[in-house]
Amino acid sequence: MSDQQRPDRDYREVNFDGLVGPTHNYAGLALGNVASMSHGGLVANPREAALQGLAKMKALMDAGYLQGVLPPQQRPDLGALRALGFSGSDERVLARAAGDAPQILRAVCSASSMWTANAATVTPSPDAPDGRVHFTPANLQSSFHRFLEPATTGRVLAAIFRDEARFAHHPALPATPAFSDEGAANHTRLAGGHGDAGVHLFVYGREAFGWGSETLPAPKRFPARQTLEASQAVARQHGLAESQAVFAQQHPEAIDAGVFHNDVIAVGNGPVLLYHEMAFLDEAGTLEALRERMRTPLIPVRIPLEAVSLEDAVGSYLFNSQLLSNPDGSMTLVVPGECQENASVWRTVQDHLLAGANPIGEVVVKDVKQSMRNGGGPACLRLRVVLGAEERGALAGRVLLDDALHGELTAWVERHYRDRLAPEDLADPALARETLVALDELSGILEIGSVYPFQLG
């Protein structure tokens, strides 16, 4: 579409953060995610988790960034338990699952939809041949607890981005290992400004149809969640041409060190790609492919292994930061508190990032510890959607944060959330009832209509 056809030049990034759900807990569900594996069984504080998330959203809104919110999902997912053969009343289903299969009960209680970087892959309208914004919910088939998300995610996205003239929704890819898709956590759009034509960097961990070839590099310890075939399929759905997309393999050693998504080792914004030396298997080839396609010079900001070890990158989540554009052309990096607690990482932030020749002019520290203990940093908690002014005007529901909505959501959390949730509490039928009451009220606050299974009948 030409600029003449598209008068709307005011493109801005809206970060849609996932509101942490009332069943937030530490279940040790995610193989290859070091924080999740080491914190399973701890007592969680869902209220604090949700308030930490809301405080981050409010701080970014107050700083002038556009902030959106996505609702949590219905948990415990009793429908999933029934599909697995647990029957009888809700109380009986929960009791039997708790007795016979406690790990399955934990999975159907996970509040993992808070990590909306895994909700979907999004292509903004300037890059799509039909001039619409394209969405594909991630199938998240790598783990059972996350595989339960895409159906509701699809309904939520369709409810908010409802206007078919402006928004296109694709089905999640087939939920099978060959098309394992983890959404925007493995996707970065690089462009001059948000409204300029972008190049899409898709990062995958393994090739599905390459078996038979002994030489294909793959992680040895932990699973590679994203496949090349999945990334290619999403690019195809969205109509991206070869000249708009780069497919790069993640370094298998990084996956084995706990980098289960690319956004644990790299983050891009505008023309800037902040990445660790061990992010890509073929670093030089990846940068070259990006440069060939981009219409503006790429600004790589490379952090060498000698400055930050893989262990420190994974422990601090330095790269799971939000890199945000400011009106004066500078950028702000929103890092988790853990970066400040790690001496070599904090030194790198000062010496390499702030003092370096790059647009990053400010580093803001945010405390999202409740989420971090499950391996979710600031960047995991948000889905980036670049939208023009008219597209923002076409959003349905009340999902763009302002002071009033922030106040209502905070009061809602304080009314409904527990401040202590241990694994054994998940079988409590009162918890299931509390969440339904809370979510029904929330869909009213957000004005998104009926998106939950219990509302659909």
- Catalytic annotation, pick one of 380, 391, 406, 416: 380
Tokens of 292: 């060939």
CB atoms within 10 A of CB 365: 17
Least distance to ligand SUG, CB of residue 21, Å: 12
Q: Is position 207 annotated as part of the catalytic site? A: no
Q: Pick between residue 292 and residue 311 the one whose CB is nearest to ligand SUG.
A: 311
Least distance to ligand SUG, CB of residue 456, Å: 25
Applying CB under 6 A, the residues found at the interface with ligand SUG are: 26-30, 33, 36, 40, 110, 112, 115, 117-118, 146, 185, 260-261, 263-264, 374-376, 380
| Residue 316: partners with Cβ closer than 8 Å, 6 or more residues away | 308, 336, 338, 339, 341, 342, 345
Please tell me whether residue 249 adopts helix, strand or coil conformation. strand
Q: Is position 13 annotated as part of the catalytic site? A: no
Tokens of 25: 């807990």
> Is 104:94 a contact under the CB 8 Å cutoff?
no
Least distance to ligand SUG, CB of residue 213, Å: 28
In this structure, what is the dihedral angle of CA atoms 57, 62, 63, 66, given to the nearest 10 degrees? 60
Max CA distance (Å), the chain: 64
- What does the alpha-carbon distance between residue 264 and residue 317 come to, in Å, rounded to a whole number? 6
CA contacts within 13 A on the Cβ side of 214: 0
Distances (CA, A) of 81 to 29, 85, 144, 360: 17, 7, 12, 47
Least distance to ligand SUG, CB of residue 44, Å: 8
Q: Pick between residue 322 and residue 443 the one whose CB is nearest to ligand SUG.
A: 322
Q: Pick between residue 27 and residue 318 the one whose CB is nearest to ligand SUG.
A: 27
- Which of these, 25, 49, 102, 78, lies nearest to 452 by C-alpha position? 78
Residue 177 is classified by DSSP as G
> Is 11:126 a contact under the CB 8 Å cutoff?
yes
Least distance to ligand SUG, CB of residue 112, Å: 4
Q: Pick between residue 205 and residue 359 the one whose CB is nearest to ligand SUG.
A: 205
Tokens of 240: 């991206």
Least distance to ligand SUG, CB of residue 404, Å: 29
Q: Pick between residue 94 and residue 395 the one whose CB is nearest to ligand SUG.
A: 94
Q: In the sheet where 322-325 sits, what is the strand order? A: 322-325, 331-336, 360-366
* Residue 76 preceded by cis peptide, ω within 30: yes
DSSP states along 408-444: HHHHHHHHH--S-B-GGGGG-HHHHHHHHHHHHHHHH
- Which of these, 137, 382, 407, lies nearest to 263 by C-alpha position? 382
Least distance to ligand SUG, CB of residue 260, Å: 6
- What does the alpha-carbon distance between residue 332 and residue 206 come to, in Å, rounded to a whole number? 32
What value does the CA radius of gyration of the chain take, rounded to a whole number of Å? 21
Sign of CA dihedral 115, 260, 276, 347: positive
Least distance to ligand SUG, CB of residue 308, Å: 17
> Is 108:80 a contact under the CB 8 Å cutoff?
yes
- Catalytic annotation, pick one of 48, 149, 182, 277: 182
- Provide the angle, in degrees to the nearest 10, between the axes of the packed helices 102-109 and 90-100: 120
Q: Pick between residue 154 and residue 336 the one whose CB is nearest to ligand SUG.
A: 336
Q: Pick between residue 419 and residue 447 the one whose CB is nearest to ligand SUG.
A: 419
Amino acid identity of 355?
A
- Catalytic annotation, pick one of 261, 276, 352, 416: 261
Q: Pick between residue 147 and residue 247 the one whose CB is nearest to ligand SUG.
A: 147
Least distance to ligand SUG, CB of residue 426, Å: 11
Q: Pick between residue 61 and residue 185 the one whose CB is nearest to ligand SUG.
A: 185
Q: Is position 380 annotated as part of the catalytic site? A: yes
- Residues forming the active site: 182, 261, 380
